[in-house]
């Protein structure tokens, strides 16, 4: 397939905001992919499945240099255009369009060539890395037409701008292969994707038929999406959603860890699909020592505690262990964690995803040997009594837990937010997980650093601004939690464009933000603004697809401040 065929698809997708139109465009393209299922990744600007977190690692500066070398223009000329236009893809299109007229011979660029070169970029390491990457990029740009150059550059920078979200791609696969039963099959495809985390695998199975989709299951040793809870207003609401009796467990103020063991190898993944095995050798040791089974997948929460007082610490205290890849032994001593295991999804060759929750709990109790401050099964009661549940909730808060989880006892394990399976209840602090999409350089003691942040909610594949927040992080590294300097280091490689002191960044960083209330505002793209926002934590364990939606923001509009419900305890 020629790359120009894919470019036509990109153009058509970018020209419409209609979800159904996008699905139809993609469905037509998917029918041409047989034999090359991995090319489906290109529709979202990737060349790897979602469980593989690697990125191209290409900066604006490197792209500018590659465009200059490929087309014989000056870096300074490209920079001038970039400051005006703000899109290196469009600049590449303009320059390539002029240069191609002077070429006597130009072979057609194929999808295979683009895909292969992009994959090679991720495997280059060591001496001469920049030069080798430049060579691969220049090879593509040298063959590209104007529009082809635009989308190559946008793909490299993670700014494809064609609006293909997971849900659109899922429904497009259903339309391509199950047009007469699209709604039911979309649900099946979503379940298959949650298991595989790989649209190429799902596409290949769908192209073969319904039976092959049903065969897709979880794979030990691979990151997977987890089941998420919805919020309950109070105990009564929790029972209404989950039914009676229900299982009630402590809600721990830690980070989600999915534990995989396959033979002698243990791997740990966060809910944003990142592997953190090397950062937590203490968890690996506890799992090897205290969990029976040759192969398994466990769902858990790791909670930090003070090694001297044994008091539990909030997530922000332990978050630095997720980020650090050095001084591991020191962090293990200074910031130990206790693993609280609450679910088992797979054991010794058998998937337990369709088993009821209490049946899975019984298996947990058989395979785990609890050890204080190392590893244990989540504390639980099963009850139909609202009073008993409330007493359990008060006890959890008293010892410093976040609140409680209430779970439907016969529910299978299903990824995502499935109403009726699991809810969370905690004091009514108003907080949202949001993505940072922009920032501003500070002054004074924060001079030269990005220290004010534009935060955004999600609306399908778009991120819509809901306010600016500049408080909540720490000034000094010895303070507990993320510092402004660390956040600056995280954001700098994600900068898309600059305008004076303001920058736009790729939406990769998730932060928890508290606020007084939400009100309508024309100042931000969502149409709403958070009043008095404050960052409470950098959520290194969370993916941007987990951030609050525009629907969540709308629910908060008009709500009054003040504590009520469980938070008034």
| Catalytic residue status for 99 | no
Long-range contacts of the stretch 478-481 (C-beta < 8 A, 24+): 480/313, 480/316, 480/317, 481/316, 481/317, 481/319, 481/320, 481/537, 481/538
Q: Which residues, other chains included, contact 3 with Cβ-Cβ below 8 Å and sequence gap of 6+?
A: 108, 109, 110, 111, 113, 114, 144, 148
Distance CA 312, CA 337 (A): 9
Give the angle subtended at the CA of 536 by the CAs of 373 and 522, to the nearest 5°.
155
Cis peptide leading into residue 245 (ω within 30°): yes
Please choose, from the candidates 294, 299, 289, the residue with its C-alpha nearest in 3D space to the C-alpha of residue 349.
294
Look at residue 318 and give its three-state secondary structure. helix
Please list the residues that pair with 231 across neighbouring strands.
424
User: Which of 81, 147, 251, 313 is labelled catalytic?
Assistant: 251
Distance CA 304, CA 337 (A): 4
The pair of structure tokens assigned to 221 is 């040793």
Specify the pairing of strand 227-228 against strand 416-417.
parallel
Distance CA 43, CA 45 (A): 6
Asked if residues 52 and 269 have their Cβ atoms less than 8 Å apart, the reply is no
On the 0-12 / 13-18 / 19+ scale of CB atoms within 10 A, 288 is: exposed
On the 0-12 / 13-18 / 19+ scale of CB atoms within 10 A, 384 is: exposed
Q: Which residues are catalytically annotated?
A: 251
């Amino acid at each position: 397939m020629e790359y120009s065929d894919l470019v036509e698809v990109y153009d058509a997708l970018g020209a419409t905001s209609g979800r159904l139109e996008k699905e139809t465009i993609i469905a037509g393209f998917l029918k041409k992919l047989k034999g090359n299922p991995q090319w489906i990744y290109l529709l979202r600007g990737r060349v790897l499945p979602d469980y593989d977190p690697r990125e191209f690692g290409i900066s604006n500066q490197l792209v500018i240099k590659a465009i200059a070398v490929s087309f014989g223009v000056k870096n300074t000329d490209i920079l001038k255009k970039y400051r005006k236009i703000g899109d290196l893809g469009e600049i590449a299109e303009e320059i390539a369009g002029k240069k191609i007229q002077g070429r006597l011979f130009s072979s057609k660029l194929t999808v295979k060539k683009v895909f292969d070169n992009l994959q090679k970029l991720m495997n280059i390491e060591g001496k001469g890395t920049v030069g080798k990457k430049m060579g691969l990029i220049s090879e593509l740009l040298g063959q590209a037409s104007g529009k082809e150059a635009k989308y190559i550059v946008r793909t490299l920078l993670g700014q494809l701008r064609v609006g293909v979200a997971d849900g659109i791609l899922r429904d497009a696969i259903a339309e391509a292969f199950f047009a007469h039963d699209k709604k039911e099959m979309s649900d099946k495809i979503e379940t298959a994707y949650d298991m595989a985390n790989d649209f190429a695998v799902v596409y290949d199975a769908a192209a073969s038929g319904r039976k092959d989709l049903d065969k897709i299951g979880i794979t030990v040793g691979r990151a997977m999406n987890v089941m998420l809870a919805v919020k309950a207003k109070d105990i009564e609401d929790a029972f209404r959603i989950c039914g009676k009796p229900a299982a009630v467990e402590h809600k721990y103020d830690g980070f989600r860890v999915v534990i995989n063991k396959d033979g002698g190898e243990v791997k740990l993944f966060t809910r944003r699909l990142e592997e953190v095995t090397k950062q937590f050798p203490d968890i690996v040791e506890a799992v090897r020592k205290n969990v029976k089974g040759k192969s398994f997948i466990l769902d858990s929460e790791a909670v930090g505690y003070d090694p001297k007082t044994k008091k539990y610490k909030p997530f922000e205290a332990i978050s630095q262990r997720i980020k650090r890849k050095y001084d591991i032994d020191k962090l293990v001593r200074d910031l130990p964690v206790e693993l609280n295991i609450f679910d088992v999804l797979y054991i010794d060759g058998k998937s337990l995803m369709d088993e009821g929750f209490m049946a899975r709990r019984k298996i947990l109790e058989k395979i785990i040997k609890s050890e204080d401050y190392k590893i244990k099964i989540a504390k639980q009661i099963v009850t139909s009594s609202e009073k008993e549940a409330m007493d359990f909730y008060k006890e959890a808060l008293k010892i410093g837990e976040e609140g409680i989880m209430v779970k439907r006892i016969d529910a299978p394990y299903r990824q995502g937010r499935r109403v009726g399976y699991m809810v969370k209840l905690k004091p009514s602090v108003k907080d949202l997980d949001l993505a940072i999409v922009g920032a501003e350089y500070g002054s004074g003691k924060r001079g030269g650093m990005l220290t004010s942040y534009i935060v955004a909610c999600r609306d399908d594949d778009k991120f819509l601004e809901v306010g600016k927040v500049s408080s909540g992080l720490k000034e000094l590294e010895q303070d507990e939690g993320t510092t402004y300097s660390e956040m600056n280091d995280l954001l700098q490689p994600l900068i898309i464009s600059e305008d004076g002191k303001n920058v736009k960044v790729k939406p990769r960083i998730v932060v928890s933000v508290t606020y007084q209330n939400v009100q309508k505002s024309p100042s931000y793209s969502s149409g709403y603004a958070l009043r008095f926002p404050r960052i409470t934590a950098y959520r290194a364990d969370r993916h941007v697809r987990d951030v609050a939606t525009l629907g969540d923001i709308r629910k908060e509009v008009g709500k009054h401040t003040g504590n009520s419900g469980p938070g008034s305890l």
